[in-house]
Amino acid sequence: MDIKVGDILTLKKKHPCASFDWEVLRIGADFRIKCLGCGHQLMLPRVKVEKSIKKIKKVEDGDSRL
Integer-rounded Cα radius of gyration of the chain: 11
* Least spacing, CB of residue 37 vs Zn ion, in Å: 4
Contact between 10 and 56 (Cβ < 8 Å): yes
Judged by CB under 5 A, does residue 20 bind Zn ion?
no
In this complex, which beta carbon is closest to Zn ion, that of residue 38 or of residue 47?
A: 38
Binding mask 26-65 for Zn ion (x = CB under 5 A): ---------x-xx-x-------------------------
Contact between 32 and 22 (Cβ < 8 Å): no
SS3 of residue 50 by DSSP: helix
Judged by CB under 5 A, does residue 14 bind Zn ion?
no
